[in-house]
Amino acid sequence: MDTDLYLRVRGRVLGPYGLEKLQTLVRRGQLSRMHEVSTDGTHWVQASSYAELFVGAPVKLIAPEVLNSSPPSSQQANASTDIPLAGESSEAAQARPRTPSSAGRRWYYEHAGMQNGPVEEAVLRQLLLTGQLDSEALVWNEGMSQWAAASQIPGLVSLVSRTARPSSGSSQASDADVQSLCNAACASHPWVMFLSITAFVYAVLCVATGFLILVHGANRGLPPLVALGLFWIASGVIHSVGGILLINYASRLSGLRYRSNCKDLENSMYRLKTFWMFVSIVLIVILAFIGFLTIWILTLGASLAGYV
């Protein structure tokens, strides 16, 4: 085979793939003879038309003639045993009571590229319900002219649709939860802006006051005033940094009003985390300074008391 092939799976067109890639899909059980392939993406044939794809395949795949013909005879069907369910031993499967369905139908089904069955309809329903069998798996019984997907069978389609609803509902519930969290976070936006503006105003006042005290202390030659001026300037810088962090957090909250998704919510929480880390570090430094100053005053007082 010198040309690449497109692969159609459940209405989706994949590829084109080369011979080596297609043979890899066959070995993995992802490509069987019943799948449709095409050289141009328009005209489709069964993969069995390209025998070189299945050279050395490790499993026996369903040949196209099986899809167009009847399954094994009734004697062969009666000789077959039911497939054990999840966590069930082969002995338990043989001992399981055979309760015929209302129609008494026995089904063959395709799984992992192999034909299985016959099994009773109750067993087939349980395979679909537990997810051991995909809803698009091919099934067949004696009342059908050809193989068809389980989701296309009137007696099984309701079961498949019921099992598919929870995932859709959980997705909707998840989206609703994210929207609720984003709305709760956005509700604090005005207060965050108020704190950030207050921090900037206080920072400007601290820097201006500290600069005046610093100049006055330098002109008078008073080191305590110079130190006090530097303290006020440092306090203004610290408050300005806190205001910048709050502004960044507020901008993330503004984005949540237009893009309510987990990624933006996560980014806004990281901005808030950074702000609280900064506040914690500042408080640790202040407490350490107060502790050092307290120890120094007590030591100085003890020394003066000894001289007295």
Domain boundaries, the chain: 5-60, 70-156, 187-307
Q: Which of 55, 57, 37 is nearest to 47 (CA)?
A: 37
**Number of other CB atoms surrounding residue 41 within 10 Å:** 12
What topology is assigned to 5-60 in CATH?
A: Dna Ligase; domain 1 (3.30.1490)
Task: Tell me how crowded residue 225 is: count the other CB atoms within 10 A of its CB.
Answer: 17
- Rounded to 5°, the CA angle 53-56-62 comes to 65
Predicted pLDDT of residue 175: 65
- On the question of a common fold for 5-60 and 70-156, the answer reads yes
pLDDT at position 194: 94
CA distance 231 to 213: 10
Instruction: Give the single-character DSSP code of 132.
Output: S
pLDDT truncated to tens, each residue of the chain (308 aa)? 677 888 887 667 787 888 888 878 777 667 777 778 888 878 888 777 787 777 655 434 344 444 444 444 434 444 443 444 444 444 444 444 443 443 467 888 887 767 787 888 888 888 887 777 877 788 888 777 777 888 887 767 555 544 444 444 444 445 677 778 888 888 888 999 999 999 999 999 999 999 999 998 889 888 888 899 999 999 999 999 999 999 999 888 888 877 777 778 888 888 999 999 999 999 999 999 899 989 988 988 888 777 65
Taking alpha carbons only, the member of 192, 189, 190, 199 closest to residue 255 is 189
Candidate CATH numbers 3.30.1490, 1.10.3470, 3.30.1330, 3.90.1490; the one for domain 70-156: 3.30.1490
